[in-house]
C-alpha cells in the first residue's frame, strides 16, 4: 500500500499514496491540489479563486471543513490545529517524497528486506545528506549484509554528524565489531 505501482494495481493504498494520486489527477485537470501532511494522516488541500477546502482520499474522498481537519489531527496524533494552523500548510514535493521514502524504509526494515531498505536509504541520504539518523540506519543495514567497509563508513559519518548521539555507545560497539572482524581476516 506504500508503493505507488501496487496502489494503482490493487486500487488500495495508504493516505499519502492516495493523496499523491489526487494531486496528479488535479494537476492533469489544471487544478491546484496540494499535499497536506497532518501529523499521523495525509490529506490534500484544494484551492480556487473562491475558497480553500480539504479532501481525505483515504476515507473515500470525503470533503473536510477546518473543524473536520482539527478533529482528524486530534484523533490521529493529538495535534491541535487550532493552536497550530500551519500544520495545514501544503508540503513541498521534496517533503512528500521524504515522507513516502520514510514509510518504505520502516516497512523494509521491519520485514528485513535489506536490499530494498538500503536502496530507500540511499535515496533518503541523497535527499537529506546532513540528516545523521539515515546514515546509522544504512550502516546497520550494511552490517546485516556483511558489507563491513560501507557499514564502517556510514557509522563513522553518523558519529561525525551527531557527536552527542544517544546511540553513540551502541554505534561504537558496532564499529568495534567491524574492527574485530577485519582483524580476524588478517
The string of pLDDT tens digits covering residues 39-65 is 889 999 998 888 889 999 999 999 999
Q: What integer pLDDT is reported at residue 34 of this predicted model?
A: 97
Q: Which three cell numbers stand for residue 69?
A: 481537519
Which residues, other chains included, contact 6 with Cβ-Cβ below 8 Å and sequence gap of 6+?
Answer: 13
Phi, psi of 34, rounded to the nearest 5 degrees: -120, 150
Report the phi/psi class of residue 11: left, alpha or beta, with left for phi > 0 and alpha for psi in -120 to 50: left
The pairing of beta strand 52-56 with beta strand 32-38: unpaired
Phi, psi of 90, rounded to the nearest 5 degrees: -60, 140
Q: Give CATH 1.25.40.10 domain extents, the chain.
A: 93-185
- SS3 state at 106: helix
How far, in whole angstroms, is CA 114 from its chain's centroid? 17
Which residues, other chains included, contact 168 with Cβ-Cβ below 8 Å and sequence gap of 6+?
Answer: 159, 162
For residue 186, is pLDDT > 70?
no
For residue 185, is pLDDT > 80?
no
d(CA 181, CA 124) in angstroms, rounded, equals 28
Please, how many CA atoms are within 13 Å of residue 18, restricted to the half-sphere of its CB? 18
Report the phi/psi class of residue 77: left, alpha or beta, with left for phi > 0 and alpha for psi in -120 to 50: alpha
Domain 93-185: which CATH class?
A: mainly alpha
The predicted-structure confidence for 135-181, as pLDDT tens digits, reads as follows 999 999 999 999 999 999 999 999 999 999 999 999 999 999 999 88
The predicted-structure confidence for 3-37, as pLDDT tens digits, reads as follows 888 888 888 899 999 999 999 999 999 999 999 99
Q: What integer pLDDT is reported at residue 50 of this predicted model?
A: 86
Among candidates 42, 72, 37, 62, which has minimal Cα distance to 80?
A: 72
Amino acid at each position: 500500500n506504500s508503493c505507488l505501482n501496487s496502489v494503482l494495481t490493487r486500487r488500495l493504498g495508504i493516505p499519502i499514496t492516495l493523496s499523491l494520486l489526487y494531486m496528479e489527477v488535479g494537476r492533469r485537470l489544471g487544478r491546484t491540489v496540494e499535499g497536506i501532511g497532518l501529523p499521523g494522516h495525509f490529506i490534500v488541500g484544494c484551492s480556487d479563486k473562491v475558497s480553500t477546502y480539504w479532501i481525505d482520499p483515504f476515507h473515500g474522498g470525503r470533503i473536510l471543513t477546518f473543524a473536520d481537519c482539527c478533529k482528524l489531527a486530534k484523533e490521529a496524533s493529538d495535534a491541535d490545529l487550532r493552536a497550530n494552523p500551519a500544520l495545514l500548510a501544503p508540503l513541498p514535493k521534496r517533503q512528500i517524497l521524504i515522507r513516502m521514502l520514510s514509510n518504505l524504509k520502516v516497512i523494509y526494515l521491519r520485514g528485513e528486506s535489506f536490499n530494498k531498505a538500503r536502496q530507500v536509504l540511499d535515496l533518503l541520504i541523497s535527499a537529506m545528506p546532513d540528516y545523521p539518523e539515515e546514515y546509522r540506519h544504512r550502516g546497520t543495514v550494511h552490517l546485516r549484509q556483511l558489507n563491513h567497509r560501507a557499514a564502517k563508513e556510514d557509522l563513522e559519518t553518523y558519529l561525525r554528524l551527531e557527536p552527542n548521539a544517544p546511540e553513540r555507545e551502541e554505534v561504537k560497539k558496532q564499529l568495534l565489531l567491524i574492527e574485530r572482524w577485519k582483524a580476524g581476516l588478517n
